[in-house]
Chains A and B, each alone.
Chain A
Amino acid sequence: MKKWPQCVLLFWLALAVVAPWLGFQPDAIDLAHILDAPSLTFLLGADDLGRDIFARLIAGAGVSLTVAGVVTLVTFTIGTTLGLVAGYHGGWVDRVLMHITDVFLAFPGILLAIAFAAVLGAGVDNLILALCLTSWVGYARLTRAQALSLRGRQHVQAAQALGASTPRILLRHMLPLLAPALLVEATFSIASLVVAEAGLSFLGLGIQPPHASWGAMLRDGARYLLVAPHYVLAVGLSLMSLVLAVNVLGDTLRDNLDVKR
């Protein structure tokens, strides 16, 4: 039972990966079956256009996890690089980089993403871009703070004395010590990115129809809460399970990697 977060995450990942071979048609509209209750044909019922909610949930999981994964990868790389350089180099490089970070930090992330989505236009690629632009600052700040303290460590000074190049020092002597904290940050950000994607799609600025997205499904489902509660419940519970699993996973990871213990 202790491994349930991994199981939930694996469940959604596996479904999202094998979805193309399951033969579902998440976009097949059937006006005769609008908001049908769960049955053998529609495992979790049908949505407001008579589409299979289960098939759409799986398709939506793929979108949500892809967006979260890509954005985390990109922001992790950018944020960590900038933070390392700023922290290790210090001086004017540090000041310039951190002021830029502060500017981005000063905006509420989701608001900036909405603004970007409005300017760039809606769509998956723009959604990823908008989320990337706003969520790298956390990594940069964290890495920089850690790098500042690591810079004075003896093994780093030894490497410097031996004439190691800067990239080598950053990658071989500092990054491994930063990894635990960054990994924890990454898991938490995956969870918040899934919610952010859902939020932007909820506002109609994310994934465009007919493609499924959990946020858009939640928005549509909420309209029919009174007549078809199965719709919004199915989507809401799925979203909750995934976000909860990732969060608990991050918590466990932090406990296990905590050096103080």
Chain B
Amino acid sequence: MSSPLPAPLPADRSEAVFTDYKLPPAREHAIAEANRCLFCTDAPCVNACPTRIDIPQFIRKISTDNVRGSAKTIFEANILGMSCARVCPVEVLCVGACVYNNMDSPPIQIGKLQRYATDAAFEKDWRFFEAGPDTGKSVALIGGGPASLAAAHELRRFGHRCTIFEKRSVLGGLNTTGVAPYKMRADQSLREVEWILAIGGIDVQLNTSIGDQVPLADLESKFDAVFVGAGLGADSALNIPGESLPGVVGAVQWIEHIKRSKATLNGVSRCVVVGGGNTAIDAVREAIGLGIPRVTMLYRGSEAGMSGYEHEWDAAKQQGAIGEWKALPTAFEGTGKVQRIRCQRLDDAKKPIAGSDFTVNADLVLVAIGQSKLGQMLGSLSGITIDKGRVITDARGFTGRNKWYAGGDCTNGGKEVVNAAAEGKAAAHGIHEFLMTTKRT
């Protein structure tokens, strides 16, 4: 097994200033909250969870102080249950589905309870799963993010050997490089990676790009199956004049920078984040948290039309975020570095209003208008369908080409960690069935 784990993260990296915005519940609180759970039949919270965690069951176990059993229930469904407890938008998933919402009572704080149980598992280093007896089969996994980790862990339980190819020097994908640090810091993600890899038998090849360093054909010939969990690519660009000026950065790239190293923010007093999605809101809250005095979100649409979660934007506003709505950047301007954004005002149909030019001052611009899709990397393989950059699969991750499976952001276009975990696990089941029903050649 080569380079199992990367070098530790620098202690003075920028994200280290962030602390948990939602503290884990104390035992007393957890038990009291767990006792409120109605133990619904065919519970809506479970149906709202992509990984179908048996939520009433894990909550009942918390109520009886069977925390170990509770954690096992969670991890049995979702091996990334620790990070999901921190980063899931529970307001629109399990908590949003809680039946208490239907009687105007506060819903059960499922995320907090999941964190209570999973944090205990990590604190006490409980292990629940063992690798299955060796099947002699091997699976290559492209990308080392949540989808591949979930897939690899499940494949190991079946007894298949796994090799993860990761182009970065760290595993965990966006859990490590992209999650807002007030939800989960990079070191916590790496701890989770280590905990998952402890099942054993997962070879990790870091700093390895598939396609460039390892041809796709090699994977196909050397492994019995391939799982593609490559995630998304670089930040999309606006393609307007001045975008190459220093100080104009892709938001995902910038977030990775503050999570893995110490960012220099000297002289930055006005930060503008371009976009209206959740990455944009994260970047806004992170810029505020790092002490930038004036942070503005600049979006083409209206405040109500943002694709980012309302509860996240509300939190950003409480922290002092400013909104600039119906604004279309037309150019970045400045001498030697960005100083202002030239914009046009848009009407309700998002059409520019003639003569509405204005500028917004900025010395740091974070462009958060999406990420490129990586599906084209598989474009040379016949039988795989790519739609607008996304790899198309069936419900169990099968791409249509023998041996090839996929899941996570590269198939869903960019969703939550919990979706990647669910898709990775589902693909592992698809792969297992395929491996155990095909003859060895």
A binds B: no
A residues apposed to B, CB below 8 Å: none
B residues apposed to A, CB below 8 Å: none
